[in-house]
Structure 1
């Protein structure tokens, strides 16, 4: 990874050969893990591709999620440690890692097909975990398990973790409990990103966190962020 990419714009990064090569390699790793099990090549949705889109890597990025992707780069460049709940195919973590070569990441995913309609996360998420670790050695820690168990245990074991970027992209009804569990391992003013804020349970959790003064709204324009309906960015009080 060329450190100069940290100073490039989002557009420079997303059109760079380094990004294209990494993205293609990750997508092929995911596709190959599914093909070897005679499963359709599809993923659950993420910042780039639609939910359960077959042969996702042959399709353009979801246009509606462009503000989320731009925000992710901005947040990654202003952070030192990302904690992500719901790694899925690893695409948002890849974007963050390439946006900021100094960023370190912890990712948690249940790696289990809890809903039979889901894509085979039990196959491709572990493959994505292994790919991230191999491609960004020393910068990525991945943990398999339920976030409601893993998050409090992580905070207990790493009280000085210094998390300053929390991305909540797992279950829609657990955001409140996840923030409360990780609060002691986070820095004051840490960014808290509620993905899928168009979903009612996510909006409810976000409101409750502000009501009990755990998180707060801030000036997105001043921070170089784009307000949108697909995710909500707050700061830890």
Structure 2
């Protein structure tokens, strides 16, 4: 995935917010999707906090929200705080001019006094300017490591959206839809074999799917059980 916060506004929407990270590609929790779609249409003055374990779709939903908001004419910015640890003050300059700011990986700066102070200042500037704020973290605000009390208080007052990991049916649907979107033939038996034999972590599954997609294109083969065995044996 591209480093979205480093890309300029002149780039096409699809390059800054990948097509497979849109609302229509999100599987599971339709209530969360509907809430964020409404937020993307009118983000002004709202602050939302998306909470969920790893691989539950937090980044997907933040990027989807940014893409939807920008498509409706809002100026947006996405920042992964995991990539900005120690540099948040500089990255946050001028963000109060955006209509919507999405801040991913809040956990990454928890406990860092300078970054927490920068985030507290940014939160206040955006709220004072009537901008939209969208946070994502693995933990609820009260579950973050001890840090700046005023920041935790601000985060605790955001509207919460709690995500859960996909079950096996959801994982299967996600992989089927990604394959169909690329015109890739993925036999049911191969999909079931993959879910039984490979890691069920969604990041691992999607990374494996990308490798299988590339291998299928090179070999001009369907995704069958023998082909999956061949690819995995080569690894």
Same fold (TM over 0.5): no
More strand by share: 1
Greater RCO (CA < 8 Å, at least 6 residues apart)? 2
More helix by share: 2
Instruction: Using structure 1 for the length normalisation, give the TM-score.
Output: 0.32
Bigger CA radius of gyration: 2
